[in-house]
Chains A and B, each alone.
Chain A
Amino acid sequence: MADSETIVAPHPRELQHHFDDSAQQLESSTLGMWVFLVTEVMFFGGMFGGYTVYRDLYPAAFASTSHFMNVTIGAINTGVLICSSFTMVLAVRSAQLGQKKAIIAFLVLTLLLGCVFLTLKGVEYHEKWVEHHIPGPGFQYADARYAHQAQILFFLYFAMTGMHAIHMIVGVGLLTVLIVMAGRNRFSGAWYTPVEMIGLYWHFVDIIWIFLFPLLYLIGHTQ
C-alpha cells in the first residue's frame, strides 16, 4: 500500500516544513517585510507631498517658521539615529555569526539610542509648547502677517515628526521583544529572521528622518 503512505521529510526545527530550504524561508520573510515597508513609503509619501504643496503655496511664511526650528537638536538626533542604525546592523551581523551576547549588547545599545532620540524630541516639543507654537486655540505667532499660514506649517511639522516618533516608539517595543527572545536563546546562526526583519524596519524609520531633517530644519534656514 505504498500509495497511502504520507511521506514527511524530516526538517530542522528552524525550517518550517512548507519551505524548500532556509534560503527560501528567509527570502519570503524579506519580501513580505519589504511589501509592508512599501506601504509605509506611500503613507509617508502623502505627507511629504502635502508638505511640498504648502511650502510652495506659502514660501514666505515657511521661511519665517524655519527660524523657530531647533537645528542643533535636529542635527544631534540625526547623528543619534545613524548611530542606532549602525548598532542595529551590527546586531544582525552578530546574529548571523551566532554570537548571542553580542546580539543582546548591540540591541540594547540600539534601544538606548532610540530612547535618546525620543527624549530629545520631547525636549523640542516642550520648547514648541512654551513658545505657543502648537497648532490649535493657543497658537501664537510673532509675525501677525503669517499667523494662519505658519500654523499650517507647524501642523505639518507635528504630523510628520509625530508619526515618525510613533514609529520610533513601536520600534523600541519591537527591540525589547527581540532582547527578551535573544535572552531566551531563541536565535541561532541558522535562524535569526526577526532580528533581520526588525532591522529593516529600524533602518526604514531612519531613512524617513534622513528626509525629514533637511526638509523641516534646514531648508529656508538662511532666508
Chain B
Amino acid sequence: MNHPVVSVKVYAAVFAALLALTITTVAVSKLELGEFNFIAAMTIAVIKGTLVVMFFMDVRRATSMTKLFVGAGLFWLAILLVFLLSDYLSRGWRPALHWL
C-alpha cells in the first residue's frame, strides 16, 4: 500500500538468478579448488541471501528503521562469529610464550 506493486518480471528475474546460482554452486563444488571451494560456495550463498532479502523480503524499499534493525542483526551475528572463530581458528598458530 505504500509502494507501487513490483512487476512479475522483476521477481522472475530474481528467481532465475537464484536457480542459476544454485546450479553454479553445485558445479563449482565438483572442481578441485582447495580452499577456494569454501570461498566460492560462501560467496554464492551470500549473493543468493542478499537477493532474497533485498527483492523477496523487499528490504531495498523498507523504511530506514527496518534497515537499521536488519543491519544490527547482521552486525551482532558478525560479533558472535568473529569473536568465536578468532579464538578457535587462531589456536596453535604459534607456541605460547613461556611467561604466559
Contact = CB atoms under 8 A, between A and B. Distances in A.
Main secondary structure of the interface of B (DSSP, over half): helix
A169 interface: no
Given A38-B69, A49-B81, A222-B30, A214 B56 contact: no
A42 B25 CA distance: 25
A115 interface: no
A22 B3 CA distance: 12
Contacts of A204: 57
Given A34-B66, A79-B19, A86-B11, A49 B52 contact: no
A31 B85 contact: no
A47 B66 CA distance: 25
Main secondary structure of the interface of A (DSSP, over half): helix
B12 to A, nearest CB: 8
B8 A218 contact: no
A75 B29 CA distance: 12
Given A38-B70, A42-B76, A222-B37, A52 B22 contact: no
Contact of B1 (A79, A190, A218): A190
Interface residues on B, range: 35 or more
A22 B44 CA distance: 37
A86 B87 CA distance: 40
B88 interface: yes
A104 interface: no
B11 A42 contact: no
A189 B4 CA distance: 12
Interface of B: 1-2, 5-6, 8, 11-12, 15, 18-19, 22, 25-26, 29-33, 37-38, 41-42, 44-45, 48-49, 52-53, 55-57, 62-63, 65-66, 69-70, 72-74, 76-77, 80-81, 84-85, 88-89
